[in-house]
Chains A and B, each alone.
Chain A
Amino acid sequence: MTKLSDRRAELRRDPLLTEKIIYAVGPQHPSLPAPYMLEVQADGELIEHVRPDIGYMHRGVEQLCTKRTWAQCSGLLSRTEWLAGSNGDYLLSAAVEEIAGIEVPQRAQWLRTMVLELSRIASHLFWWGQLGLEAGAITPIFWAVREREGVIGLLEELSGHRWHHQWIVPGGVRTDVPQGFIDRVGQVLLNMEDRVHEFEEFLSDNAIWVNRSELIGVLEPEYALTNGASGPVLRGSGIVHDLRRDAPYLKYDELDVRIPVGEFGDVLDRYRIRMMEIQESTRLVRECFNHLADSGEAYRVEAPVDVPKGEAYVAVEGPRGELGLSAVSEGGPNPARLHLRGPSLYHLFLLDELCRGYLLADLFVILGSLDIMVGEVDR
């Protein structure tokens, strides 16, 4: 494995060193998915420091949650992770269920598992398109959004909403799946598997893309561990960790969760892991089909409006990593404290280490490989 220090030394031998300059990237910038600012100090073309400046989209979600009922908080949490909003719904429901000691019906657990995997596919597809834009390719975003539309349509059919579904509720799921839904999911997945292969042919083996991503933004495993990395960013550095396997929730302990890991910790590894995860999630959704048939008919039990006193930390392996929720209830309809642990906050602060010594042109490719969700960062 190429050490980061060697890479830096190699770049340092470049004779074209010019004066240092500080660039403000953002808060409004075409390459940023949402408003935040990167203060980039560069020595000529080489990045020396990247300092993220966040808070431009801070809405005070955690403070607002203390003034709302548990059910209303679901809507707020969903909006912190808008590309896979069901994760926020699930976290809140899981916290209420853990504090109140509610046993969720088997069918609801299988349906939740299926929806979370569909959300992961939708989120990763959009990431793929956005990464193409970061790297200067326009085509992927059109292809990705087209394919994602199929998944969004399925979730809309379930919940009535395209983005913030609030279909996962404390005690189960809001409604059972409509007639013929499973067949339609199968059709969408079948079509998408072909398309993902096409994506791979288009970009994954593209020489320009490989040259721009190989051994760029290398994250050492030790640094990743001690600085809070999780999800595909952590797995890209060769650490085999996935909450679906290591701390299984819902029905993941009954599924065969296979975890793709990287070797070099570079942009290309993180890219390949996400592409493989799309295929893995497709397979997991199909596995859920087999279990849904004999999972009973009950899909929801009544959950109390007033949640008893208690505390819970629940976590989900979201598309970007460990998305956690610390919940404290003092009894009554409102939470006393909700704190969302978003993986993107930790990943954003990895940028300084990831970008140091690389070229300015690499900044956005590295940023794209981290898949930052600003809703989680600013909350």
Chain B
Amino acid sequence: MLSPELTQLAREAGGDAILLDARRGRALVAEYSELITVLKNLRNAGFTRVIDFSGMHLGKNKHGLEEFQLYLTLRAPDHGHGGLTLKWKYPAPPVKTPEPATGTTPQPEDDGPVAPEVDPALAALGVSAHAIGAPQSGDGNGTPDTITEPEPEEVEQIDPAMVAPHPTLSRIWPAAGFCEREIWEMLGIPFSGNDNLKPLLLDEQFPGYPLRRDFESPQRGDFAAGLLQERSEAAVMRSLDYPVPEKTQATERNNNGEAGGGSA
């Protein structure tokens, strides 16, 4: 249970962005845009210990993008190590999918291919869509050539696994750094600003994100066989690249069957 003192502390740090349920010591960050500010305020107010940072996959939202819930548990050492768990949804802002580009859409006057508009929110996610092979005029005067059917436009598919980077918390609490590594490998949320974002528990070549709801285990044999093959090839390459040291006096003596190297 959150003490009245801690409740007040968290309210002051979070302002209106935190809606506290003081009975359970849990809080909901209401506005994502203020998240980092709120977290910094909490750290400055005394919540200097990060106890846990984890996430949960909620599934696809109505726009087809993966949605997550993140949980952060903090403790305040100067206030009897009282604890507080914050949670927020990620990504928070609603995003729109781009209108599907169709071949029958009338093109503007200019001849070049035109990219369909990309929603700014999607652009922020790193999603781009561009048109390739828009119909060209045949003679340069605007008269269509014999080709009557336009070539189908190729629109880059949105990778459903793609998630916008979440700002790192490791600059506020260093201990959050390897929690982020785990969230990244298990759920697929990248963290911008975390320079050490590499797998913590899984193999570097493990396919997929095991804690997503739609995760299907890879075929064990296929994964292991491919991995072993790649590793053995990599080992051969390393051994070829490895500089051969020149023979020292000690090793020469050993090769001649005499005692050398100083070992008993």
Interface residues of A (CB under 8 A from B): 54-55, 58, 60, 62-63, 66, 225-228, 230, 239, 241, 243, 246-247, 311, 313, 315, 322, 324, 326, 328, 336-337, 339, 341, 345-346, 349, 378-379
Interface residue tally for chain B (C-beta within 8 Å): 31
Known: A63-B211, A241-B77, A246-B81. A341 touches B175 (CB 8 A): no
27 contacts between A and B (CB under 8 A): A54-B201, A55-B201, A55-B202, A55-B203, A62-B211, A63-B211, A226-B173, A228-B50, A230-B51, A239-B77, A241-B81, A246-B80, A247-B81, A311-B87, A313-B52, A313-B71, A322-B51, A324-B51, A326-B52, A326-B71, A328-B56, A336-B56, A339-B52, A339-B71, A341-B52, A341-B54, A378-B201
CB contact list, B7-32 vs A, under 8 A: 26
* 9 shortest interchain CB distances as A-B pairs: A228-B175, A55-B201, A339-B54, A341-B52, A337-B56, A58-B201, A246-B81, A63-B210, A241-B81
CA distance A337 to B56 in the complex (A): 7
Decide: B199 and A55 in contact? CB cutoff 8 A.
yes
CB contact list, B165-195 vs A, under 8 A: 173-175, 178, 186
**In this complex, what residue of A is CB-closest to B176?**
A228
- What does DSSP make chain A's interface, helix, strand, loop or mixed? mixed
Chain A residues with Cβ under 8 A from B71's Cβ?
313, 326, 339
B82 within 8 A of A: yes
Interface residues of B (CB under 8 A from A): 26, 48-52, 54, 56, 69, 71, 73, 77, 80-83, 85, 87, 173-175, 178, 186, 199-203, 210-211, 215
Decide: B73 and A313 in contact? CB cutoff 8 A.
yes
Known: A226-B174, A228-B51, A228-B175. A311 touches B201 (CB 8 A): no
Decide: B48 and A226 in contact? CB cutoff 8 A.
yes
**In this complex, what residue of A is CB-closest to B1?**
A247
Chain A residues with Cβ under 8 A from B174's Cβ?
226-227
Which of B26, B49, B186, B210 is the one whose CB lies under 8 Å from A225?
B49
**In this complex, what residue of A is CB-closest to B79?**
A246
14 additional A-B pairs beyond A227-B175, A336-B56, A379-B201, beta carbons within 8 Å, are A55-B201, A58-B202, A62-B211, A225-B48, A226-B49, A226-B173, A311-B26, A313-B71, A313-B73, A324-B51, A326-B52, A337-B211, A339-B54, A346-B175
Whole-angstrom distance from the CB of B139 to the nearest CB of chain A?
A: 62
CA distance A341 to B26 in the complex (A): 17
Chain A residues with Cβ under 8 A from B210's Cβ?
60, 63
Chain B residues with Cβ under 8 A from A227's Cβ?
174-175
Chain A residues with Cβ under 8 A from B56's Cβ?
328, 336-337, 339
Chain B residues with Cβ under 8 A from A326's Cβ?
52, 54, 71, 73, 85
Whole-angstrom distance from the CB of A103 to the nearest CB of chain B?
A: 16
Which of A225, A247, A378 is the one whose CB lies under 8 Å from B82?
A247
Chain A residues with Cβ under 8 A from B51's Cβ?
228, 230, 315, 322, 324, 341
Which of A63, A226, A247 is the one whose CB lies under 8 Å from B83?
A247
Known: A226-B174, A341-B73, A346-B175. A324 touches B201 (CB 8 A): no
